[in-house]
Structure 1
């Protein structure tokens, strides 16, 4: 794994890119992360160094206080070498930004559009490589990407994202790169949670990723604890955190996770995440496939309705129930035969009807924004030919105080 930064001073404007690159046993290179900032970052850097909130992200010695002295000091690369790594943005779509040529690769620097005060965030389970062996993965992935484009969230959190060395045919083994083709204007971070040693020398990793239209200025993660004696807690779980510089709310802390199938593990892991989250300043947005229904202890804990081990959360709001009533789960007897299911259920599209809500956005906005819209990402397909076994969930915020 390689982690490096590159800078291009341009008078008062500075282009700063960070790459997280992995290499497989065939010497092929893949991007696990690409974040960048383009603008007058002297004030932002000054604040970073003052509170040490993102000094490791930029990896710039404290003595470098003059932007004219900033340079790519970690490694030197030829244009050809850059081209091997570079995340290519050949999209001709004109968003509010500018293009810069670096070797044979083109990066789009996102500039801030302050014309509206809305911020949109979405969570969606990618369902890893399901459908690959049946030959339907390409169509499924194309549909998944189109749904994300249509939703047009500023920040996406994805779960069940994989790197699978065996999946070489369609666009290669890295699903985060598949996603980036549909979201070419976005920065992203992918963090594997666990490895599947399916064969002797294979490499199969699964984790979560976050894509952002705005600069990711910091990132971190924690591995959530496992109980190896718990048969429902067989997968390693993770909570990925990024700090995003938005034009609407300035710094926002985003957390993305995919919780265990074990209730005991979830109750333990939400305590660990709560401790992790509190180490950062608000606003907080926690999202993901939490594998638990709203009445469960773990979800009631996150909503501030129940304590675990004498500890309680404060400030989180469940985005769905902020605007809508809790949907009835699809338990026997809850609905008549022909009765439509309540909106808000997110799992499973592999059934004829959805049966429960397990995908969430929990928000702690500190009075700076209101929840304006909550939507489901849903193409209506059930049972056969589904895009994912989950529906996605998105929330649009109306920022009242930056």
Structure 2
């Protein structure tokens, strides 16, 4: 039996950043509209602070939204949440792990990382089929931390079902953290000419640091999305969306 699943990853830019005319209160309606435009069953978000999470829970009240704060394993700090649309896919289990040598320790910092980093692991089920999702945000400074994070995530992707790895990896295609994953059997969903994702509120994409990779899933299509609801940029990143088949 073939089952289709549409997924997306989106760094929505944290609400504490001093972004002036692009600050969260100004653009949050645009961010919500951009998420809706993705038409995804499953969306992984990064840089979600508690006030943003509360707003998203209100606006997407019918969705399952899972994930905890990176500072304390409860609500403190940024979240890498996974949102699941009402429909055929349901969350069977989820947990958050830290990208460090002690992944069960809330707030732990790994290797040469500048900040605490996490991954949210979710197991979804539809019509008896299970798919795992890893949503994450790698460190922006730690080169060793990014490499070790890729190794950890690959270890956590157990062989009992297909997996999707998505998030802001702060690394471009062909860089060591991505090479670790592709060497381990992960497939980049995006075509080579898909373009960049980080644009720093200019709308002009530069580096492609946001990714969707898959194991044991077929990529039907994938692209960087450039929705700009009402003419406003919803974040300093463009999201990535992919339609997959199991």
Residue 207 of structure 1 aligns to a residue whose secondary structure is coil
**Which of 293, 296, 312 in structure 1 is aligned with 2:175?**
296
Q: Secondary structure at the match of 2:197?
A: coil
- Classify the secondary structure of the residue corresponding to 2:155: helix
Q: How does 1:330-349 map to 2 (within 5 A)?
A: 343-349=194-200
SS in 1 for 2:177: helix
Cross-structure match for 2:67: 190
Within-5 A mapping of 1:83-98: none
Contact 1:349 1:391 in 2 (8 A): no
Cα 1:227–1:122 change in 2 (3 A) is: closer
CA distance, structure 2, for counterparts of residue 347 and residue 211 of structure 1: 22
Does the CA contact (< 8 Å) of 2:10 and 2:46 recur in 1? yes
Evaluate the alpha carbon distance shift between residue 133 and residue 272 of structure 1 in structure 2; reply closer, same or farther with a 3 A threshold: closer
The corresponding residue for 2:227 is 379
- SS of 2:221's equivalent? strand
Whole-angstrom CA distance in 2 between matches of 1:276 and 1:126: 25
Give the Å deviation of 1:266.
Answer: 0.5
Counterpart of 1:181?
Answer: 58
- Give the superposition deviation at 1:132: 7.3
Q: CA deviation at 1:296?
A: 0.9
* Contact 2:10–2:45, Cα closer than 8 Å, also in 1: yes
Verify the 8 A CA contact 1:378 1:392 in the aligned structure 2: yes
In the TM superposition, residue 294 of structure 1 has moved relative to its aligned partner by 0.9
What does the per-residue CA deviation read over 1:365-396, in whole Å, with 9 as the maximum and x for residues that have no partner? 2xxx5311213232359xx9531111100101
1:32-51 to structure 2, matched below 5 A, reads none
TM-score w.r.t. length of structure 1: 0.53
Mapped contact 1:258–1:291 kept (Cα < 8 A) = yes
- Aligned position for 2:24: 137
- Name the structure where strand makes up a greater proportion of residues: 1
Which of residues 206, 214, 219 is equivalent to 1:355? 206
Could you list the per-position Cα deviations for residues 311-346 of structure 1 after superposition, in whole angstroms to 9, with x for gaps in the alignment? xx13x11000xxx2x24xxxxxxxxxxxxxxx4210
TM-score if structure 2 supplies the norm length? 0.83
**CA 204–254 in structure 1, closer or farther in 2 if over 3 Å, else same:** closer
Q: 1:180 to 1:152 in 2, by over 3 A?
A: farther
Asked whether 1:119 is paired with 2:9, we answer no
Q: C-alpha separation between the residues in 2 aligned to 1:206 and 1:352?
A: 24
Unpaired segments of 5 or more residues in structure 2? 101-108
Between the two structures, name the one with larger relative contact order (CA 8 Å, sep ≥ 6).
2
Whether 1:218 and 2:93 are equivalent positions in the alignment is yes
2:99–2:152: 8 Å Cα contact kept in structure 1? yes
Deviation at 1:355, TM superposition (A): 1.4
Given candidates 14, 33, 42, the residue that maps to 1:155 is 42
The offset of 1:239, in angstroms, is: 1.3
Unaligned runs of 5+ in 1: 1-113, 164-172, 196-202, 305-312, 328-342
Matched residue, 1:257: 136
